[in-house]
Chains A and B, each alone.
Chain A
Amino acid sequence: MPEIRIENLRKAYGEHAVIEGLNLEMADGEFTVLVGPSGCGKSTTLRMIAGLESCSGGAILIDGRDVTHLEPKERGLAMVFQDYALYPHMNVAKNMSFALRLARYPAAEIDKRVREVARTLDLTPYLDRKPGELSGGQRQRVAMGRALVRDAGTFLFDEPLSNLDAKLRGHMRAELALMSRRIRKNMIYVTHDQVEAMTLGDRIVVMRHGKIMQAGSPEELYRRPANRFVAGFIGSPTMNFLKADLVAEGDRVVAVGQGFRFPFAAERSAALRSFVGRAVDVGIRPSGFIASEAPDALQLPVILSEYLGAQSIIISELGGARIAIEVNAPQPLTVGGTRGFEVAADGIHLFDSKTENAL
């Protein structure tokens, strides 16, 4: 049975609707990531689940129990905040044990749990420090520890890594992935960073303007984005979009744009036949271009080359749009001139220009 179910959840601040009819199910033990651009309502959704924000409509069910109007403490959740939200006047041990002390656990039990969690998070030397005397990374771990010492069924994270520097963030991301594998609790994780979403989530929920654009496994979202927004949001560097028209040529359907034509194989052509005549956006990931010497290959200008070590990103132009191409090349590439590329058939995504939905 689904551990957390959200039904038609709505939130409005006055006239301003922030969340409009959200439906979501999270299976037991699943790591769900809410991802989307800043301001899309991720935090609001999470805070409604936590009970910190009231709901304007809809329902939240945990284990089949309607918690929509319950206080946070009655929901059995633990939460890690973006700014860590540590209690400044308590030392690390007191911070971590606050919930347990309120719940009147025996002192020995509290001590045992705090020490255990402190050990796994490398916090033992700092148990007597106040948050003000810790580095950002240490504070972040205390915030995690405070959530972990509790026997909460569900963990909520609101951009817990976004205040760390890039290197530490990568490290903590891996730690978090390991931890979630180990404890297998419900996790709901909010981030604007699609890399975090892809690496941590069993399931990713992409949001935009308070609505769910697509929910699915990282692979699903990457391989079969349901719309242009998800396609552009997931994956780095970002997918290239080219304007084109769908044209029928014999029994084949072809996407024809300025300076390119992509014919589709028989099976996909059949599926696309009903869309012939539509204006479409052709989406190709930077990694979808394959260097090619073939005579009919696309000849693309190398306007700029960003050398990353194992790869380079070529900035080029196609169909009147700037595009990025990822090439595996151990040496920096020379700028200027053109290079030949092909695009594999399964590397071409099509989106209706009007509805932005995938075709």
Chain B
Amino acid sequence: MNASTANRLTPYLFLAPAGVILLGALIYPIGYVIYASFLDWNPSQRIGEAAFVGLKNYKKLLGDGAFRESLWVTLKFAAVVVSAEMVLGVGLALLLDRKMRGMSILRTLFILPMMIAPIVVGLMWRYMYHPTIGIFNRTLVSLGFEPVPWLSDANWAFAAVVIADIWQWTPFIFILSLAALQSLPRSALEAARIDGATGWQTILYIKLPLMLPVLIVTMLLRLIDAFKVLEVILVMTNGGPGLATEILSLRINRTASEFRALGEAAAMSNILLMVLMSLTLAMFLYTKAMEARARAMRSQNDEEA
């Protein structure tokens, strides 16, 4: 081996330990889950004793109405909460991005929900949604309205978990949006005022486009989290009534612990993983494509010039 090859290989040598750890910590568990999804495996067996069944678990899932329902609930839940949280979080950030007395206290208050343990959040909302002693129904009744079957009606239960999630996670988007807003170039915003932009126009044409990279990442993080939400819904409805709020992670949990079908649960989480991966990939490809298009347009213009 001559000196130049040695030189080229040196960085890899130094990277190797980190690479091994990455492989062990990241790839091994994922590989384990993927492998497990091809097995007919119940918790009393060691993994070596489980029978290899190929794609049977996946085939079964695709034909399983309950799983499809659960996947649909998950997609619906993620789409609804993330959209609502983005609108509310970004809106609040736009509203509160100003210098005023007490603003820092207000901001701190806003992020409190995020810091509460999810189990506690679930319990809290369950009590608030309680049909007779919960704050919502007591208020409604005292105002002369009919009480609402918050957690016992399928539609209301879905709305109830959505509301709880929005309450807990809007602050996340709020903080990141606020940080993005506060790092916007001040003078560009002033230039927009001079150029005649109204407050709305500044938001629409300057602030939001400049925040977009941060917003995309924020949304992705929230989306990934929303697909995996478990504790709050577990405590509030445990997936009920019926399958109305049985999101995928609840179903995975039940499949593994109640139905004792580990292979099937693994297959489910792989499907969830694939959904998330394709989402991330799509986002990634979209930004790449936008960049490439901008570059292509430029080089074309350079030729003309």
Residues of A participating in the B interface, judged by any CB pair closer than 8 Å: 50-52, 71-73, 77-79, 81-89, 98-99, 102-103, 124-125, 127-130, 133, 146, 150
Contacts and interface: CB of A to CB of B under 8 A. Distances in A.
Interface stretch (B95-103, B105-113, B201-209): B201-209
Contacts of A85: 185, 187-188, 190-191
Given A128-B297, A128-B301, A98 B193 contact: no
A78 B187 CA distance: 14
Most buried by B among A51, A77, A89: A89
B212 to A, nearest CB: 8
Contacts of A125: 301-302, 305
A106 B298 CA distance: 25
Contacts of B196: 72-73, 99, 102-103
27 contacts: A52-B194, A72-B193, A72-B194, A73-B193, A73-B196, A73-B197, A77-B194, A78-B194, A79-B191, A83-B185, A83-B187, A84-B187, A85-B190, A87-B192, A88-B185, A89-B210, A89-B212, A98-B195, A98-B205, A99-B194, A102-B195, A102-B196, A125-B301, A128-B301, A129-B298, A130-B294, A150-B195
A150 to B, nearest CB: 8
B110 to A, nearest CB: 28
Contact of A87 (B191, B194, B297, B298): B191
A173 B2 CA distance: 58
Interface of B: 185, 187-188, 190-197, 201, 205-206, 209-210, 212, 294, 297-298, 301-302, 305
Interface SS, A side: loop
Given A130-B294, A133-B298, 15 more contacts: A52-B193, A72-B193, A72-B196, A78-B194, A81-B187, A85-B185, A85-B191, A87-B192, A89-B212, A98-B195, A98-B197, A103-B196, A124-B305, A128-B298, A146-B191
Nearest to B295: A133
A102 B192 CA distance: 10
A73 B305 contact: no
B199 to A, nearest CB: 10
Contacts of A83: 185, 187
B174 to A, nearest CB: 23
A53 to B, nearest CB: 10
A46 to B, nearest CB: 11
Contacts of A89: 209-210, 212
A356 B208 CA distance: 53
B197 A71 contact: no
A88 B190 contact: no
B197 A102 contact: yes
A150 B191 CA distance: 13
Closest 3 CB pairs of A and B: A85-B187, A125-B305, A99-B195
Contacts of B206: 87
